[in-house]
Structure formats: C-alpha cells, structure tokens
Amino acid sequence: MISAVASRRHVIADDLRAQISTGRFKAGDRLPSEAQLAARYTVSTPTLRSALALLQAEGLVEKVHGKGNFVRLPLRTIKYIGGGLTPPTPALQISIRATKIRARGHLSTLLRVPAGSPLTEFHCLSHDDTSPHSLARVYIPRDLAPAVIPDESTWPATMATPLAEIEERLCARLPTPVEAATLRISPTLAVLAVTRVATDTAGRVVEAALLALPGDRAEAVFATHYTADNRRVER
C-alpha cells in the first residue's frame, strides 16, 4: 500500500511538472521557496523536499546551494568517446584548476607510483552558461604536467610522450556528496563513472583520470574496427 506521504509527494511533483511543461515556470526560473511551496501544498517541509527530489532526479529542477530551486535549462547531451583523450563537448565551456598534491591510496595504485610521489591534479568542470555538466579529475606525474594550465581551447593537454595504451573502466553508480553538490544533481541520480589510465611506450602511467557524467545527459560511444583478415581492433 502506498503511504499518504508518498502519494502526496507524487501529487506535488506532478503539479510542478505540469507547470514546468506548460511554461508557468520557464527554464532558468527560480521556484518559490521551499517554505512557500510547503505552505501552498499544506505539507511538511520534508514532504515538499521529497517531491522536489523527484524532479531533481528527472533533471527538471536543480537546487543551487544558498539560492533555491531552479528549473533546469534543456539538457545538452555529453558524448564520451572511448579510446582516446576526449575534448570538451562542443558548446560547453570548461573551467580548469590545477593543484599540486601527493599520491596517496588509490592514486598511488592507479599511477603505479610510491605513496608521496608528486602529482598535479587538474580539476575540470564543464558547464553550459551557469549549469554544470560533467566533472573530471585528471592526475599527471608532476614532471610530465604542462608548465602552463591549459584552457578550454587546448584541453586536453598534449602528452609529452607517445602513448601505447589507454585503459578505461566504466560503471554506473550513485554520485559522491562532492559530485552531487558540484554537478547540482540529486544524490539519487546515477552517474556514468569513467576511470581512464594512459600508459606510454615505456610502460609508465602518464595520466589517470576520474570522470563523473550525470546519467540523465551522458552517453558513451565505443567503436570496434576489423582488419582485412577479420581480426578485431577495438578503440
């Protein structure tokens, strides 16, 4: 049996969804405050937030910390191309922040370096206007990192050494609290998580990247090519 609270949150979500679809609330509009909406629907704040969470999970509404709930702009699909270093999706901007860190835990394992080895972390956030779209954290041994932080026109940075292999692992999972807050998505919305490790011809790991793409706007593309003798070559 569906509880009254569960039923009520769906009724509220349906009403707000209808107002969004008919243009009562337009893309970019801020919804009334949670207190105002709770009073309007005569429900408790937790019930109202539960209704909003449904719309957030659908990608219709995003919550901006300290500002309120906004109707999302139409979502632009992010296409992840397997087998290479992927440039930003056209029409999306990318902001890049570089930080000097030391390898610890899983980073030591991914990069196959001793704990404490110097790394440069590139924190890359793609966005459409003010709406964040995807998050990437790229780790490069410091002696291989570019001296100047690349901008969106030159990202990804050109590797200083020839690559021999790129291994990619993909999975669908719930976002971490930091990912949910950074991407402004519901913690119940799955992300496409990609772990990418690039190795040079000497067998050295020259880059490890951790990407999180919201599941409501991401697709991954992989191509398999065949040689003349029907051998399969994947990329």
Q: Is 15 exposed, middle or buried (0-12, 13-18, 19+ CB in 10 A)?
A: middle
Predicted pLDDT at 146: 80
Predicted pLDDT at 184: 84
Exposure string (b/e) for 62-101, b if CB count within 10 Å is 16 or more?
bbeeeeebbbbeeeeebebebeebbebbeebebebebeee
Q: List per-residue pLDDT tens for the chain, 235 residues long.
A: 345 656 899 999 999 999 998 999 998 899 999 999 999 999 999 999 999 988 887 878 888 878 899 998 777 778 888 765 455 555 678 889 999 999 999 999 999 999 999 999 999 998 877 778 889 999 999 998 887 776 655 555 555 678 889 999 999 999 999 999 899 888 888 999 999 999 999 999 999 999 999 988 888 887 777 766 655 555 5
Strands 78-81 and 218-221: parallel
Q: Where are the alpha helices (DSSP H) in 75-188?
A: 105-111, 177-183
How many Cβ atoms are within 10 Å of 1's Cβ, its own excluded? 5
Predicted pLDDT at 195: 95
Predicted pLDDT at 228: 66
Amino acid present at 20? I
Which of 44, 46, 52 lies closest to 68 in space, CA to CA?
52
Predicted pLDDT at 186: 80
Predicted pLDDT at 80: 84
Kindly state the DSSP code that residue 30 receives in the 8-state scheme. Answer: B
Dihedrals φ, ψ of 156, to 5°? -75, 150
